[in-house]
Amino acid sequence: METYLVGGAVRDKLLKIPTKDKDWVVVGAHVKKMKALGYLQVGKDFPVFLHPQTKEEYALARTEKKTGPGHTAFELDISSKVTLEEDLKRRDLTINAIAEDQNGLLIDPFGGLKDIEKKVLRHVSDAFSEDPLRVLRVARFAAKLAPMGFTVSPGTMRLMRDISDSGELITLSAERVWQEFEYALATSTPEKFISTLKECGALKSILPEINALFDIPQHKQYRPEVNAGLHTLKCLRQASQLSDDVSVRYAALIQDVGKRIGDEQILPSNLVRKSSGLQLQSEITKRLSVPKLHTNLAALVCEHHAKMHQAFKLDPAELLSLLESLDAIRRPQRFNKFLLACEADARVRTGLEDGVYPQSKFLSSILKTISEVDEKSLIERQPNKNPRELLKDFRLNLIAKSITERENT
């Protein structure tokens, strides 16, 4: 029985980047022996065990044979005769198919070290095509490692296109697809994930609403050489620079899904496409099982970001209505996330991608002012008035003063 450190832990160690988990592969053992040694099996049908002390994952070396469409239709061979090289051969990328023995010696039968040196993401073998999930995994690694200069090899990209054309991507579970999306959105260059899926043809299956944006020209007011799809990628890029929060990045990604061909005649008005955008966002949520934390923020950005951009032109009643629609007083943290997603869009629209978004400071100041109102004291001073109307009028006056102060500055 021999154990080897494998996968991401070895890869990240070689790339000198932090890694959270360590995965081990065990060669020359079987289920009964692992249990006898005190390892706890995870699941009934999958040969993964938790170490009795460290709780790290140890998997029996295995080979896989595809038995049907999708990500889970595989027949496993977990006999003690399976070799380390056979186990590594079933992995997706060469940089993930490097093992390290207990003495620190690297075992690299498929050229992962060379590909790390060349900064290339390359598939291990033709078995890559058997698992459609690998399209999303490679796109995620492309996003994670893009800052280090990594690119997808032409041969691997061809296989990704073949998988995308096969229709197998639709067999993936919503939960597994979203997991890859969430991992990718948390990287420093999440837009690379989307552009990679676009390049290999997977975006039209996974996120057709975003894919459709690449066919829509941008309004002439906002740099016509950039189509709506590229605009979306730039928004996602800006969001990733403004915030590490995945919900902010997700909102920036899908805020414009309601845009349609012909909208360039009515932009920047958001009235026509707001309704369709919310409907499409709802469909995305169902298809990908997107958490409510993300979908709620994305819906608010879709519905109100155009009005936010026009904040300086709104009267007190419109500004108060906007803040109430955002439930900003009760949920200031979500409001701040809303501002960041709007700022990402504004930076791209104005071309000042490293500039400021004064609307954010303006509305935040108004929210602070009306949030500090002592409602109880206000109502007690005028008991004969309707409390709701009294509070509303008082807030409107405060907002009016804020507008006047800004205009006089």
In three-state form (DSSP H/G/I as H, E/B as E, the rest C), the secondary structure along the chain is CEEEEECHHHHHHHHCCCCCCCEEEEECCCHHHHHHCCCEEECCCCCEEECCCCCCEEEECCEEEECCCCCCCEEEECCCCCCHHHHHHCCCEHHHCCEECCCCCEECCCCHHHHHHHCEECECCHHHHHCCHHHHHHHHHHHHHHHHCCEECHHHHHHHHHHHHHCHHHHCCHHHHHHHHHHHHCCCCHHHHHHHHHHHCCHHHHCHHHHHHHHCECCHHHCCCCEHHHHHHHHHHHHHHHCCCHHHHHHHHHCCCCCCCCHHHCCCCCHHHHHHHHHHHHHHHHHHCCCHHHHHHHHHHHHHHHHHHCHHHCCHHHHHHHHHHCCCCCCHHHHHHHHHHHHHHHHHHHCCCCCCCHHHHHHHHHHHHHHCCCHHHHHHHCCCCCHHHHHHHHHHHHHHHHHHHHHHC
Q: What is the pLDDT of residue 164?
A: 97
CATH code of the domain containing 4: 3.30.460.10
Position 382 confidence tier, pLDDT thresholds 50, 70, 90: confident
12-16, 278-282, 382-386 — which is least confidently predicted? Answer: 382-386
Q: pLDDT digits over 299-329, tens only?
A: 999 999 999 999 999 999 999 999 999 999 9
Question: Is residue 386 situated within a structural domain?
Answer: no
For residue 164, tell me if it sits in a domain.
no
The answer as to whether 307 is a domain residue is no
Q: Check whether 269 has a pLDDT greater than 70.
A: no
In a domain, 353, yes or no: no
Using pLDDT thresholds of 50, 70 and 90, give the confidence band for residue 226.
low
Question: Does 358 fall in a domain?
Answer: no
Read off the pLDDT of each residue in 155-174 and give the average, rounded to a whole number: 96
Note whether residue 70 is domain-resident: yes
Domain around 52: 1-118
pLDDT digits (tens, 9 = 90+) for 75-131: 677 788 899 999 999 999 999 999 999 999 999 999 999 999 999 999 999 889 999
Provide the number of structural domains found in the chain.
Answer: 1
Q: What is the pLDDT of residues 186-216, one digit of tens each?
A: 999 999 999 999 999 999 999 999 999 998 7
User: Is 290 domain-assigned?
Assistant: no
User: Residue 88 has what pLDDT?
Assistant: 95
Greater confidence (68 vs 320) lies with 320
Residue 229 lies in a domain: no
